[in-house]
Amino acid sequence: MKHDSAAGTPTILFGAFDRHNFGDLLFPHIAAALLENENLIFAGLAERDLRSHGGHQVRALARLAAAWGERPVNIIHVGGEILSCDAWQAAVMLLPSEQAQGTIARLDRHPRDRLEWAHAQLGIPDLAPYALSRQLFPRAARVIYHGVGGVDLAQREPALRHEVLAKLKAADTVSVRDELTLAPLSAAGVTAGLVPDPAAMVAELFGARIRRQALQGAAAGIVDAFPQGYIAVQFSADFGDDATLAEIAAQLDRTALSSCCGVVFFRAGAAPWHDDLACFERVAARMQSGVKIFSSLDLWDICALIAHSRAYCGSSLHGRIVATAFAQPRVSLLHPDQEGKASKQAAYARTWEAADAPQVVGVTGIWQGITAALAQDKTSLAAQAGHLSRLYRESFDTLRSRLGVNPAR
């Protein structure tokens, strides 16, 4: 299928897929499949090759702007919690793990120094660098934000908030993935639509590939090890204090006993401030039930693990969304410090899940949440998966038309 008059204009897919994070690695695959892989450039804030983990060869935005800034391009922000990600957070998450802790210890309490360091690392002076400034590409044909998030944008410092709102007002099209992100944009006069997260499309676009991966990839051994099924569990490194881990272990033991399932821990991100294998090992050592730790960081292995689970429970929003796409029971896990506060997990679930569906739990509610999730009707889960994928496809078809591209087949 050929493009029309826009055929010669390259499209930059921009996002945080320059680091290992499950959802961010998935986004460019979704967009590329729906754009039929024509004339695409994958860009992040850093040069990275994540193909060994199922990701992409990613070009650094600053270098790309120097080479392409005066050419007509389309730019699509392809998803993620990018609107409230500041330069310091972005730069630290791009560090090798062995460098991150020392850098945080040295600079975290010195805001001016850490911002200067972050800008030097990233090569651009923005406060919110994953929201692209149109000034970098003054001849850009279109700048689009599609299915992005920023649930705490309204609580961020005024300078960052004003920068983001100005960038959104300068964009051609904006859509966000939850109502909590939408509200402050609407209040500030930003015209924005509401669409599901891109990962809602993963089963429709890549279901066959993921089923093959479950037969021949790292997940195959897990599926075989638990003939009665398993709960796929993940949580970030900030859950790692002893009391929290002890409670998680007790809750999961109770869950395994009542459901006759095993428990499989996996990482949904290996970048700094994401998941830590040592936390899972410490929980597993406290548990009496059948437990395995899934070590693969391959994107498609992780998808296969979730898709073939009995249920998903974790702090990763995209663990939940992939489970949703495959019509699997799911419940999101909140850190004790998050309970009662705005979170992207709760915001997304409240926007797109049925009001009576399990949404978010704290660590003391894991057994109750998973039990409620497992009791859900499979027909309803399948209907919800299909509904969200249809909504996303419809929104992307509109985006394609604005790029001058024919609807996807």
Q: Is the dihedral of CA 352, 355, 357, 361 positive or negative?
A: positive
**8 A C-beta contact, residue 198 and residue 218:** no
Asked whether residue 141 falls in the same domain as residue 216, the answer is no
| CATH code, domain with 231 | 3.40.50.2000
Buried b (16+ CB within 10 A) or exposed e, 197-224: bbbbbbbbbbeeebeebbeebbbeebbe
Low-confidence residues of the chain: pLDDT under 70:
1-7, 405-409
Given 195, 227, 256, which residue is the final one in a domain? Answer: 195
> Distance of CA 382 to CAs 11, 348, 387, Å?
33, 18, 9
Q: Is residue 5 one of the residues assigned to a domain?
A: no
Domain that holds residue 111: 11-195
Asked whether residue 363 falls in the same domain as residue 219, the answer is yes
Residue 292: the pLDDT is: 97
Q: Is residue 4 one of the residues assigned to a domain?
A: no
Residue 409: the pLDDT is: 54
Given 144, 171, 195, which residue is the final one in a domain? Answer: 195
Residue 205: the pLDDT is: 98
Residue 407: the pLDDT is: 57
Asked whether residue 178 falls in the same domain as residue 247, the answer is no
Residue carrying the six token digits 């604005």: 402
Q: Nearest to residue 278, comparing CAs of 293, 299, 298, 263?
A: 293
Q: Is residue 3 one of the residues assigned to a domain?
A: no
Q: Is residue 402 one of the residues assigned to a domain?
A: no
Asked whether residue 237 falls in the same domain as residue 362, the answer is yes
Residue carrying the six token digits 């499989």: 264
Asked whether residue 212 falls in the same domain as residue 157, the answer is no
pLDDT 10s digits, 221-249: 999 999 999 999 999 999 999 999 999 99
Q: Nearest to residue 206, comparing CAs of 383, 21, 34?
A: 34
Asked whether residue 245 falls in the same domain as residue 141, the answer is no
Asked whether residue 153 falls in the same domain as residue 170, the answer is yes
Asked whether residue 186 falls in the same domain as residue 274, the answer is no
Asked whether residue 65 falls in the same domain as residue 89, the answer is yes
pLDDT 10s digits, 255-287: 999 999 999 999 999 988 899 999 999 999 999
- Report pTM: 0.95
Longest dimension (CA), the chain: 63
Asked whether residue 169 falls in the same domain as residue 232, the answer is no
Q: In total, how many domains does the chain have? A: 2
| CATH code, domain with 92 | 3.40.50
Asked whether residue 242 falls in the same domain as residue 108, the answer is no
Strands 48-49 and 57-60: antiparallel
What one-character DSSP code corresponds to residue 269?
A: B
For 326, phi and psi rounded to 5 degrees?
A: -95, 15
Q: Is residue 269 one of the residues assigned to a domain?
A: yes
Asked whether residue 109 falls in the same domain as residue 223, the answer is no
